[in-house]
Amino acid sequence: MPMTEPLVPSLPLLPGARLECKICWQVYDPAEGDPVVWQIPPGTPFSALPPHWTCPNCAATQDQFLVLADD
């Protein structure tokens, strides 16, 4: 029987969460946004990025980003 539920349910992404591209290690920091490449203003959480947004360094899709632990 195939499993339909993930083993660990995903937690909601906090608005201030920083994420790192697992392809090129580029960090998306909501405090900075992405004003140069995608014209995303500072203060934009990762969850509010447009669906077509990709990594400004390597063009990886949003599902290639991992949440960074708070230091």
Confidence (pLDDT) at 65:
96
What's the one-letter identity of residue 53?
W
Residue 34: band (very low, low, confident or very high) from pLDDT cuts 50, 70, 90:
very high
Confidence (pLDDT) at 10:
64
Q: How many CB atoms lie within 10 A of CB 71?
A: 4
Model-level pTM?
0.81
Q: What is the pLDDT of residues 4-22, one digit of tens each?
A: 444 445 668 899 999 999 9
Q: Which of 29, 26, 30, 55 is nearest to 43 (CA)?
A: 30
Q: What is the pLDDT of residues 52-66, one digit of tens each?
A: 999 999 999 999 999
Query: What DSSP state is assigned to residue 47?
Result: G
Q: How many CB atoms lie within 10 A of CB 21?
A: 21
When the pLDDT of each residue in the chain is averaged and rounded to a whole number, the result is 88
Q: How many residues does the structure list for the chain?
A: 71
